[in-house]
Amino acid sequence: FQKHEFFVDMTCEGCSNAVTRVLHRLGGVQFDIDLPNKKVCIDSEHNVDILLETLKKTGKNASYLGEKSAQ
């Protein structure tokens, strides 16, 4: 799986819940939400465009930060 890092303009718990909801609906993803830094790290075989589209369904500003190398 690729690990992708995205910026999502999340300001509260409600925002991160919205992200969790849309990603669960998409399925086939594992993810970590870093609310203070407004980052979402996603492990998935979906391509970046699909993931970004999905994150934008939250109505939040979202952008792709790049691949995260496995540590």
> In what helix (H) or strand (E) does residue 31 lie, and over which residues does it extend?
strand 29-34
Counted domains in the chain: 1
- Closest to 41 in 3D by CA, of 69, 3, 2, 1: 3
pLDDT tens digits along 25-52: 999 999 999 999 999 999 999 999 999 9
Is the full-model pTM beyond 0.85? yes
**What DSSP string describes 34-58?**
ETTTTEEEEEESS-HHHHHHHHHTT
Task: Give the span between the Cα atoms of 21 and 26, in whole angstroms.
Answer: 9
Residue 8 belongs to a domain with what CATH number?
3.30.70.100
pLDDT tens digits along 2-32: 799 999 999 999 999 999 999 999 999 999 9
Domain that holds residue 15: 2-67
